Structure 1
Amino acid sequence: MPRSPPWHRPQSRSVVPGWRACHRLRRSSGGVDPDYNRCRPMNRAPDGVAVDLLFAARPFTGLEHHALHTLRGLRIAGASVDVWTPQNILADMGDAAQGHRLVPFSPVPRPLRLGREQWAVPWRFGVHPRGYRVMHCISGVAPLLTRIPLVLSVPDLTFRVFPRDLHPKARLYFGFLVPRSIRLARRIIVSSEAIRRQVIDLYHIAPERVHRVPLCADAIFTPRPGPEVLAVRKQYGLPERYILCVATVDVRKDLGRLRAAYDLLPADMLDTALVVAGRTNPGSERLARELTRPSRRGHVIGLGYVPRDALPALYSGASAFVYPSRYEGFGLPVLEAMSCGSPVIVSASAALAELVGEAGVVLRTESVEELTRALERLLRFEDERRRQAQLALERAAEFSVGRLGAETVDVYEQALQA
């Protein structure tokens, strides 16, 4: 049995909104555990650890899925926490909510989220709440007015390293709040050693305050059988052979280099399509059009946003998965692809090289020709493709939800003792 952390109380926990909100929850909770539909008045803020998911919004991105993995891992580690969450995503949390107490907040429009992040928690629980001993903010931004001891997850430092890749409002938002949140935190969680070094060096943080806790892929990401792969190919109109990239379309992902490398493939490989799946960030519409423009050689397919349940078969059927991003905090789509047995090619970004290790092709430069050669090698030699796929599966097995939960609990305990 996993040991219970010192802040965990074993009593049952439930959602505690007012009776009208409870009635709405009962009608809309979907897959949420029935325990979470029992209601009683909230007299005080519950004690223990609070995990802040107020940033979450549909459709879920990597950050939301990382938060849900953290909740699952905490449950495996024997920890029960309070989860601050928008009420409208409760049904989407699924089994991640089990074993935890949900504290729902009314959803607000995107322009008002900053106000909720900074004011809703102090307003609801007070600046000096007695009930909470640790607050874990997963988005990299914390309520600056609260005095709850803070654990802060920092996904990446794009706003600092590649500021021009962000909208001016996003640069202002992250540039103001993230550094202040970092300095406020007792302990900081990052997903790679590369980001750990950046946090320490850029913000002059004591190394013992910054902890590397690697992410994990969802349990749905496993190699899929041929019939399932064929069904997804038919659904999206894909040929038998395709190169896959699952990424948000923006400048930082360097998808233009991938398109240029694909256009240089030899004529005997033109039956292999280039498939790009992912939503387009605001301001990157021109890049998306350029990426999927008709090709004289080969076939380029832009799928846009792909539902999560279709991704495992999409990964499994790919002849190669390519992630040429110039900067990442971890690279979760790469781990998902590896978990499905797809051979991977990644850029020389430090976090991606750290993730892949010897289990994939790590490009040494930003050369288009080098990427073309790497693609040609995987497409031409079946034995090499199978070898890389096996290495990818073995490497992916090192990243588990149990490890994520146990190491997160360790950070909570250190924050309590700081």
Structure 2
Amino acid sequence: MFINMELKMKIVHWNYFNESDEISGIKRYETELYNHMSGISDVQCQQVQRHNRNIFFDEFEEHDSDIVHATFQNLAPLALIKKPYRFVLTVHDLIPKFYYSIPQKIKHMWYLIEASINKADKIIVDSEYTKQDLISYLNITEDKIHVVPLGVSDAYHPHCKLNSCTRIGLTGDKKRILVNSSNKPWKNVKTLNRIIDRLPEYEFVKIGYGTTIQNENILNLGFVPEIEMPYLYSACDLFLHTSEYEGFGLPVLEAMSCGCPVVSSNGASLPEVVGNGGVLVSSNDVDRYCDVIDTLLSSKNTLKLWVKNGTEQASKFTWDRTAEQTLEVYKKCLNE
């Protein structure tokens, strides 16, 4: 099938999250991709949320879309529906396949998702790591998979540290280490707890869902609105990420973009995102984590170097680039 690019390509983004849902990494991807795709002159793009199935089919028949792009792997079973459009699927990670403590309901749903992924005409992934997972564990052919990294919003840039501390309500003289974690098994909270116990001279600021960490050296902030996140990154001296598995690692990218030096696990896709912009540590090496944190926070010059390295690395990732590379996948899909 050949598409005449003098005509507008008609795209439907079938999103997993609804407008009322709180911001998450997946929802940010859905929102940013749609906003930046809508700014491309030869594309006509519309959104439908997953609960609006009847609305979707009505709109599909009316608008005669060229491509339906399901923006989260849980929507993979849509590929089983026989419709005269090309189907593109984004797979962010294969977490349900590897972590057995995930609720049984999700595991059962995953079997259907797994069986459906290969039915997509094209598959977009956030990282080379996820691409290799799809090839190794789901036997998907390499030519069907396209790596399109995520971006970072322009809102994520450095702010005055003193003003940011005042805005967030952070006080005291201790150096601050920000962690974005939850009690999900791949987030590696066990290692995080051991690091916190070993470094009482620092204040750890924890954000994210799940059980709070009970320790006199930690401030549990829970959910922080996205509008406040650039200020929180700017208020902290270092961002620590101990996760064992990420399909991408958006918080790491956001921290670097805000001038917050990063110490991250080397698990899964994280080396692709961090690059030379932060320090990578083996996921469970508590001694190495502590040594690196002490080294960075004890030297202003070293810290400045990693601020520079991080912002340079983060500048390589933009949502405009994500949209442009996604458009290239659409074109390939329609011209094959």
TM-score, normalised via structure 1 length: 0.73
Select the residue among 121, 128, 134 that pairs with 1:193.
128
| Equivalent AA in structure 2 for residue 193 of structure 1 | E
* Aligned residue number for residue 21 of structure 2: 58
Verify: 1:171 aligned to 2:171, yes or no: no
Provide the secondary structure at the position in 2 that maps to 1:51.
strand
Task: Indicate yes or no: 2:145 matched with 1:222.
Answer: no
Instruction: Give how far 1:350 is off.
Output: 2.8
In the alignment, which residue of structure 1 is the partner of 2:321?
Answer: 403
Q: Residue deviations 1:333-378, cap 9 Å, x none?
A: 0000010011101112130011111211111351222211121111
Residue of structure 1 in register with 2:298 after alignment: 380
Match for 1:345: what amino acid? V
Structure 2's unaligned 5+ residue stretches are none
1:313 is aligned to 2:247: no
Q: Unpaired segments of 5 or more residues in structure 1?
A: 10-46, 87-112, 281-287
Cα deviation, residue 320, structure 1: 0.9
Distance 1:238 1:307 in 2: 23
**Bigger mean CA deviation after superposition, 391-400 or 360-369:** 360-369
Matched, 1:244 2:178: yes
1:328 matched to 2:251? The reply is no
Identify the residue that residue 157 of structure 1 maps to in structure 2. 94
Contact 1:5–1:79 under 8 Å retained in 2? no
SS in 1 for 2:123: strand
TM-score (norm 2): 0.90
Cα distance change of structure 1 residues 205 and 125 upon mapping to structure 2, 3 Å threshold: same
Alignment of 1:287-306 (within 5 A): 288-289=211-212, 292-295=213-216, 299-306=217-224
1:78 maps to which of 29, 36, 41: 41
> What secondary structure does 1:358 align onto?
coil
Aligned pairs (5 A) from 1:12-51: 48-51=10-13
Q: Distance in 2 between matches of 1:129 and 1:273?
A: 56
8 Å Cα contact 1:247/1:333 also seen in 2: no
After superposition, the CA RMSD in angstroms is: 2.4
Q: Secondary structure at the match of 2:205?
A: strand
Q: Which has the larger radius of gyration?
A: 1
Equivalent-residue separation in structure 1 for 2:162 and 2:87 (angstroms)? 48
Farther-moved stretch of structure 1 (341-350 vs 53-62): 53-62
Residue of structure 1 equivalent to 2:65: 132
SS at match of 1:245: strand
Cα distance change on mapping 1:7 and 1:349 into 2, 3 Å? farther
Measured against aligned partners, the alpha-carbon deviations of 1:361-405 in whole angstroms (never above 9, x if no partner) come to 111351222211121111212211111111000000001122111
1:223-267 Cα distance to aligned partner (Å, 9 max, x none):
012343132342x556552100123442211122112112112xx
| Rounded Cα–Cα distance in structure 1 between residues aligned with 2:309 and 2:325 | 25
Partner residue in 1 for 2:193: 259
- Check the 8 A contact 1:239/1:273 in 2, yes or no: no
Q: Distance in 2 between matches of 1:318 and 1:207?
A: 41
The aligned counterpart of 1:205 is 140
Decide whether the 8 Å contact of 1:252 with 1:326 is kept in 2: yes
- Look up the equivalent residue of 2:41 and give its one-letter code: G
Structure-2 separation of matches of 1:121 and 1:204: 34
- Aligned partner of residue 269 in structure 2, secondary structure: helix
Aligned residue for 1:259, secondary structure, equals helix
C-alpha separation in 2, matches of 1:230 and 1:69? 28
Offset at residue 134 of structure 1 (A): 0.7
1:76 offset after TM fit, Å?
4.1
1:125 shift after superposition: 5.5
For 2:126, the aligned partner's letter is S
The amino acid across from 1:273 in the alignment is E
CA distance in 1, matches of 2:133, 2:250: 19
Instruction: Note closer, same or farther for the CA distance 1:318–1:412 as it changes in structure 2 (3 Å cut).
Output: same
